[in-house]
């Protein structure tokens, strides 16, 4: 269930060649939108679920976070993260986010970049995150968009000449396991609806502060081949939710 494809040598080798792996946040089309959703990190205790190469951990540390805990299931990813990002405020821990245990009210910010679609039981994780957050704390995440995960293969529909016709959506309300093609491998992901992504937050003590489907910045649209196709369908869902406090719970539900 907790597939660890990032520790398979061929997959990891391909992943490490991706532009966003080599160049970090500036090569990630969604980063500017996501960065604008983050709170000021100064003085915060931060948890990054599925931290990968640790780019976001480094960002938080460089912006004054008091502590940053980065977790990932992949030993290879964590080795890279330790090699590339070494501010003293950062601790890396190997753990599947489903198994992670943290003290209650330990963090001001829980963050996750493109990892939640690997989790089978999202709602259970949301409940844990709510406990780990202090009142008023933030849960900010990106995940693959339900439009992108619904059918399974995550590929375009092409015409006979190999040109993109459109993006296929199917099985939308059939939540659960999918096998996507990514970097030449079959990767297990979990599809869930927008209703589930947002509803689990609203029903477990969070107020929604922002919901965004990012588009690449103009500089990437202008320079990266194929990037303009990203305007044809949403690939990511970005959410900022705030942990309601004891008082706010009544008012903010």
40, 194, 219, 222: which one contacts a copy of itself (CB under 8 A)? 194
CB nearer to a copy of itself: pick between 135 and 183: 135
CB closer to a copy of itself out of 72 and 230? 230
User: Closest separation between CB of residue 186 and a copy of itself, Å?
Assistant: 20
Interaction between residue 36 and a copy of itself (CB under 8 A): no
Q: Are 109 and 88 in contact (CB under 8 A)?
A: no
Q: Determine the interface stretch with a copy of itself among 5-13, 55-63, 126-134, 211-219 (rule: CB under 8 A).
A: 211-219
Residue 234: burial class (beta carbons within 10 Å; 0-12, 13-18, 19+): middle
Residues in Cβ contact with 202 at an 8 Å cutoff, skipping those fewer than 6 apart: 208, 253
Nearer to a copy of itself, 4 or 199 (CB): 199
Q: How far is the CB of 163 from a copy of itself (least distance, A)?
A: 12
Query: What backbone torsions phi and psi does residue 22 show, to the nearest 5 degrees?
Result: -75, -40
Q: How far is it, in rounded angstroms, from Cα 42 to Cα 64?
A: 4
Is 233 a residue that touches a copy of itself (CB under 8 A)? Answer: yes
Indicate which single residue of 13, 94, 169, 177 sits in contact with a copy of itself (rule: CB under 8 A): 169
Segment lying near a copy of itself (by CB under 8 A), choices 15-23, 42-50, 115-123, 188-196: 188-196
Using CB under 8 A as the binding rule, the residues of this chain from 50 to 69 that contact a copy of itself are: none
Cα 68 from chain centroid (whole Å) = 16
Residue 239 near residue 211 (C-beta atoms within 8 A): yes
| 167 interacts with a copy of itself by CB under 8 A | yes
**How many binding residues for a copy of itself (CB under 8 A)?**
37
Per-residue CA distances from 29 to 26, 35, 90, 195, 247 (Å): 8, 11, 25, 25, 38
Residue ranges in 29-156 assigned as alpha helix (H): 31-37, 55-62, 75-84, 122-132, 146-149
CB of 232 to a copy of itself, least distance (A): 5
- Beta carbons of 107 and 129 less than 8 angstroms apart: no
Q: Which of residues 118-157 bind a copy of itself (CB under 8 A)?
A: 147, 150-151, 157
Task: Tell me the C-alpha distance between 57 and 84, whole Å.
Answer: 11
Question: Looking at 112, 113, 154, 215, which residue binds a copy of itself (CB under 8 A)?
Answer: 215
- Minimum distance, C-beta of residue 131 to a copy of itself, in the bound complex (Å): 21
Binding residues (CB under 8 A) for a copy of itself: these are: 147, 150-151, 157, 165-174, 193-195, 198-199, 202, 207-213, 215, 231-234, 247-248, 251-253
């Amino acid at each position: 269930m907790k597939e660890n494809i990032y520790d398979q040598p061929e997959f990891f080798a391909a992943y490490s060649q991706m532009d966003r792996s080599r160049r970090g946040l500036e090569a990630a089309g969604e980063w500017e939108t996501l960065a604008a959703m983050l709170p000021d990190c100064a003085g915060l205790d931060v948890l990054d679920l599925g931290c990968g190469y640790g780019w976001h951990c480094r960002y938080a540390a460089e912006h004054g976070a008091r502590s940053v805990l980065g977790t990932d299931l992949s030993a290879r990813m964590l080795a890279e993260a330790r090699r590339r990002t070494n501010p003293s405020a950062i601790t890396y821990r190997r753990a599947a986010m489903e198994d992670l245990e943290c003290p209650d009210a330990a963090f001001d910010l829980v963050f996750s970049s493109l990892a939640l679609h690997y989790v089978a039981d999202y709602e259970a994780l949301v409940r844990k995150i709510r406990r780990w957050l202090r009142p008023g704390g933030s849960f900010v995440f990106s995940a693959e968009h339900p439009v992108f995960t619904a059918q399974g293969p995550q590929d375009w529909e092409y015409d006979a000449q190999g040109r993109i016709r459109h993006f296929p959506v199917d099985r939308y309300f059939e939540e659960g396991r999918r096998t996507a093609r990514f970097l030449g491998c079959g990767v297990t992901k979990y599809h869930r609806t927008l209703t589930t992504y947002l509803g689990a937050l609203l029903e477990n003590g969070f107020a929604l502060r922002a919901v965004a489907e990012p588009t690449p910045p103009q500089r990437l649209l202008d320079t990266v081949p194929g990037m303009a196709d990203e305007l044809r369908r949403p690939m990511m869902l970005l959410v900022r939710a705030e942990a309601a406090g004891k008082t706010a719970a009544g008012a903010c539900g």
